[in-house]
Amino acid sequence: MRVRKAVIPAAGLGTRMLPITKSMPKEMLPIVDKPVIHYVVKEAIEAGIDDILIITGKGKRAIEDYFDRSFELEYYLREKGKLEELKQVEEIGEMVDIYYVRQKKPLGLGDAVLHAEKHVNGEPFAVLLGDDIIISQKPAIKQLIDVAEREKSQVIGVEKVPEELVGRYGIISGEKIGEDVYMVRDLVEKPSPKEAPSNIAVVGRYVLFPEVFDFIRELPPGKGGEIQLTDALRNMLPSYPTLAKMIEGRRYDVGTRLGFIMANVELGLEREDIGEELLTRLKQLVREV
Ligand code: UTP
């Protein structure tokens, strides 16, 4: 089993980031000087993926423009001798083969993934949510792919979250079967803290079998009237044993205000060009408040 293809759902409305998402996809919000989705695509490429399908929707054209070549801009930068900038812009246009499919209505993550069925064409595939950035030594999706290929199993990326936050995530229960790997017994979407079987949360990275499409198709709308991927994965459990891998890395949910700001601050601090000055200014600011 080899995972070559990745699907990046990016068609959600992003209501938690309104009003900016009224006219701008949340996947295009800048983290320092690159859009969120740049980090996600890069993670997939660094994991050895060479074919990426982005699920887009209404108002998401900026994503396609970003990954496209921009000959006018390249010409202008060359004329002006801005060669470093030219290199950066050219590299983005040549990153990898990226394909697009439109989800006409935002009917949920399960429905978005279902739009990948034709493209995936019967192969196991990776899913990376377009609004979760994970910074890690080994790319987060590669951590999952290694387990999936070794165990010939579906794998869900998970992370421990504080108990009061379980209601924002899909939560799993399961037995630990290896270092950072669990056999999933059950999965619940956004449980109340009382119902939650654990604090192990599903965090936006998956390796899935193509059979998942059949299970998504059978689903009635779940919580919030949306077709939930979690529900399909739960229904698969009896016939497709599924593993969960605790992801090593720092995750930013940039679809939330705090996650977005933290990503900018922390990744800004790591930058050679602005990191030092940003730290000085932050220290100053903290002393003042
Ligand atoms: P979210 O749960 O963050 O939903 O989706 P959302 O609608 O984008 O954001 P809020 O809750 O309104 O603020 C997780 C991922 O699934 C994609 C999103 O783009 C995001 O990457 N998604 C969600 C779709 O592609 N289609 C959908 O119908 C829903």
Between the CA of 15 and the centroid of ligand 1 the distance, in Å, is 9
Note whether 130 and 270 are same-domain residues.
no
Same-domain pairing of 246 and 114: yes
pLDDT for 138 equals 96
For residues 247 and 214, membership in a common domain is answered with: yes
Residue nearest to atom 18 of ligand 1 (CA): 12
Task: Please count the structural domains in the chain.
Answer: 2
Same domain membership, residue 289 and residue 173: no
Same domain, 141 and 276: no
pLDDT number for residue 223: 67
**Structural domain boundaries, residue 145:** 5-255
User: ω into residue 106 within 30 of 0, thus cis?
Assistant: no
The CA–CA distances, whole Å, from 19 to 133, 156, 203, 257 equal 21, 32, 25, 11
Amino acid at site 107: L
- Residue 106 CA to ligand 1 center (angstroms) comes to 8
Q: Do both 239 and 287 map to the same domain?
A: no
- Going from the Cα of 11 to the center of ligand 1, the distance in angstroms, rounded, reads 6
Residues (pLDDT < 70) of the chain are: 222-223
Residues 101 and 177 in one domain: yes
Say if residue 205 is in the same domain as residue 289: no
Q: What is the CB < 6 Å shell around ligand 1?
A: 9-16, 55, 103, 106-109, 111-112, 129-131, 255
Q: What is the CATH number of the domain that holds 19?
A: 3.90.550.10
pLDDT digits (tens, 9 = 90+) for 133-185: 999 999 999 999 999 999 999 999 999 999 999 998 999 999 999 889 999 99
Give residue 60's pLDDT. Answer: 87
- Clarify whether residues 137 and 278 are in a common domain: no
What span, in angstroms and rounded, lies between the C-alpha atoms of 46 and 138?
Answer: 9
The position carrying tokens 């595939």 is 125
Stretch (H or E) spanning 175: strand 170-178
Q: Can you tell me which atom of ligand 1 is nearest the CA of 256?
A: 13
Predicted structure pTM score: 0.93
Are 140 and 235 in the same domain? yes
Ligand 1 centroid to residue 87 C-alpha, Å:
32
Q: Is 44 in the same domain as 182? A: yes
Together in a domain, 166 and 246 = yes
